[in-house]
Amino acid sequence: MHWSDVVAQRLSERGTKHIVSTGITPSGEFHIGHLREILTGDMISKAAKKAGLDVEFVFIVDSADPLRKVYSFLDDSYAQYIGHQLKQIPPPDDSGCPDMDRFSKGISYADHFLKPFKQALEQIDVRPRFIDNFDSYASGKFAETARIACNNADKIREIIERVSSRELSDDWFPWNPIDAKGSIDGITVTGWNDPIVSWIDSEGNEGQSDVTKGEGKLPWRIDWPAKWAWIGVSMEPFGKDHGAAGGSYDTGKEIVELFGRNAPVDLTYEWISLRGQGAMSSSSGNTVGPLEALSLVPPEILRYLVASTKPNKAIEFDTGMGLVNIADEFERTTSRDFAIEMEKEGLSRRQMVAIEDAKTALELSLITPLEEASSVTFRHLAMLAQTKSKDEDVWGSLGVDQSPPSTMVERLNRMRTWINSRHFPDELRITILEQPNREAIALLDEDNIAVLPQLIQVLGSCEWDSASIQSSISGAARNLETSPRHAYRALYLCIMGTERGPRLPAILSQLNQNSIVTLLNASLAVSQES
């Protein structure tokens, strides 16, 4: 079975009604690494529904978490907000300074980073119920679990110290109060009288916090199982840091029993890293945002990247040829007839599993109908977008007589964005010369020059389609009893100014035949000058 079906089967063993949860702290720009978690949850939810289970998918925004430090993308003035909850501090403006105008209109730091992520989720067809953690504390959703935690402080201390093998400080307490300035840093709890926590801050100021009114929050290792309890979470995927031995899941699954619940079914996933740059991090700014990624490739490709990779396998995200390769794989999968493949005789169990995995990965990836998603290959569209400056010329080349579907228009727009970005790979870049490049012509050797007249003759008279052009190039080399590589090198140098490039016959078929022949004649003349 596909990995999502395996989790669905585990859920079915616990009953028929479930809540699958994912979440994140909006401390900075969301990146495609975050998409792995939410897509994993989305795909598990879909697999569980396919299995006949009643499933709700939720996404928790940990807006009650504090600002930990002044991140690299923030102005130094944010130092005043360290320790303040993300829902209670202003969003950054374009220069990283606190934007008090937007804050006065109800837009917080957390809202600022959540908005584009929500827009990306709509594009990628992920539609969870959002739960704001700050609002949940304020509305009393954590009231019961917070009281239980504070009344069982010694038991929770024992669990954390035993399971995590780390010693907590003598003044540790399972509640972080908010001081008079709005910070949860540097505060020491001095007493507990249900439901009131007494405290003193670093300057000696004393105060009280009502845990039933959200005047503070539970520390992370308690906050997490508390959410499982009051929401009723029965499945949650999480990163390998939380799943490590002695990590927050190991402590959480014992703490949640104090709240009268069982730990959810777990699934640990590996991180997504940027090729050559390591793991993505919102706080460090080493990211490719979901909206940026979706401006380059169709959402089906990003879904397929996660669906086709087992969660325990790391993903290296490459915005250049890596995207092309995963698109190629997706397109090969869309062209497969899985029913016929499964009917073949002599299939091993391993082969049948591989076929079923590919089939399910494709099903979980598709947003638009299959015929729209596979109507033109990624590579071919990249070529057309570079050789046809007008969209209508692209549609004409594809044989689209009427108005193209909106999905096709979106694909072309994304392709043009990718081509004009820093991410587009040189291997696919097409530059057609308007006149001979003398430096490139100087690189022509005797074999290249010898085949040029023959190439000019055959390309000037052949049918102007990819197959005919390819046949003519090979025929020109064969007539002179030379290798086709000499012919192709001559053409690349004369037409593109490089020694190699993307598949030439397909490119030439989209260009004007007379213009290409004229360019080759001019190049031959330049080569003969020396």
- Does 95 lie in the same domain as 68? yes
Examine the fold and report which residue of 426, 452, 472 is the final residue of a domain before the chain moves on: 426
What percentage of the chain carries pLDDT values higher than 90?
A: 77
pLDDT band with cut points at 50, 70 and 90 for residue 530? low
Residues 6+ apart with CB under 8 A from 187: 176, 177, 179, 199, 200, 201, 202
Q: Which domain holds residue 467?
A: 438-529
- Does 135 lie in the same domain as 77? yes
Give the pLDDT score at 104.
Answer: 97
Q: Which amino acid is at 216?
A: G
- Does 314 lie in the same domain as 349? yes
* 132-166 residue pLDDT tens: 999 999 999 999 999 999 999 999 999 999 999 99
pLDDT band with cut points at 50, 70 and 90 for residue 373? low
Residue 149, domain member (yes or no): no
Residue 170, domain member (yes or no): no
Residue 520 near residue 430 (C-beta atoms within 8 A): no
Give the pLDDT score at 237.
Answer: 96
Task: Tell me the Ramachandran region of residue 87: left when phi exceeds 0, alpha when psi lies from -120 to 50, beta otherwise.
Answer: alpha
Note the pTM of the prediction, 2 decimals.
0.85
Instruction: Kindly report the CATH number assigned to the domain that includes residue 25.
Output: 3.40.50.620
Residue 209, domain member (yes or no): no
Mean pLDDT confidence for 386-397? 91
How far apart are the C-alpha atoms of 225 and 262, rounded to whole Å? Answer: 9
- Does 416 lie in the same domain as 375? yes
* 396-428 residue pLDDT tens: 888 887 788 888 898 899 899 999 988 888 888
Mean pLDDT confidence for 350-375? 88
Instruction: Kindly report the CATH number assigned to the domain that includes residue 501.
Output: 1.10.10.350
Residue 287, domain member (yes or no): no
Give the pLDDT score at 88.
Answer: 97
* 327-352 residue pLDDT tens: 889 988 998 999 999 999 899 999 99
Mean pLDDT confidence for 290-315? 89
Examine the fold and report which residue of 369, 400, 426 is the final residue of a domain before the chain moves on: 426
- Does 346 lie in the same domain as 257? no
Taking 90 as the threshold, does the pLDDT of residue 171 lie above it? yes
pLDDT band with cut points at 50, 70 and 90 for residue 282? low
Give the pLDDT score at 445.
Answer: 94
Residue 389, domain member (yes or no): yes
- Does 265 lie in the same domain as 128? yes
pLDDT band with cut points at 50, 70 and 90 for residue 37? very high
Residue 482 near residue 447 (C-beta atoms within 8 A): yes
Give the pLDDT score at 286.
Answer: 55
Residue 64, domain member (yes or no): yes
Helices of type H across 430-512: 438-441, 446-461, 466-479, 484-495, 504-508
Rounded alpha-carbon distances, angstroms, from residue 220 to 247, 317, 351, 364, 469? 11, 29, 43, 32, 64
Residue 169, domain member (yes or no): no
Taking 80 as the threshold, does the pLDDT of residue 323 lie above it? yes
- Does 421 lie in the same domain as 442? no
Examine the fold and report which residue of 426, 451, 483 is the final residue of a domain before the chain moves on: 426
- Does 403 lie in the same domain as 309? yes
- Does 422 lie in the same domain as 463? no
- Does 116 lie in the same domain as 26? yes
Give how many domains the chain has, as a whole number. 3
pLDDT band with cut points at 50, 70 and 90 for residue 307? very high
Taking 70 as the threshold, does the pLDDT of residue 513 lie above it? yes
* 447-480 residue pLDDT tens: 999 999 999 999 999 999 999 999 999 999 999 9
- Does 393 lie in the same domain as 419? yes
Mean pLDDT confidence for 312-330? 87
Peptide bond into 195 cis (omega under 30): yes
Closest CA relative to residue 441, chosen from 401, 483, 486, 491 = 491
* 240-251 residue pLDDT tens: 989 999 999 999
Give the pLDDT score at 294.
Answer: 84
- Does 93 lie in the same domain as 240? yes
Residue 159, domain member (yes or no): no
pLDDT band with cut points at 50, 70 and 90 for residue 524? very high
Give the pLDDT score at 284.
Answer: 54
Taking 70 as the threshold, does the pLDDT of residue 25 lie above it? yes
Instruction: Give me the numbers of helices (H) and strands (E) for the chain, helices first please.
Output: 25, 13
The mean pLDDT of the chain is: 92
pLDDT band with cut points at 50, 70 and 90 for residue 378? confident
Q: Among 8-22, 55-69, 315-329, where is mean pLDDT lowest?
A: 315-329
* CA 490 to centroid of chain Cα atoms: 41
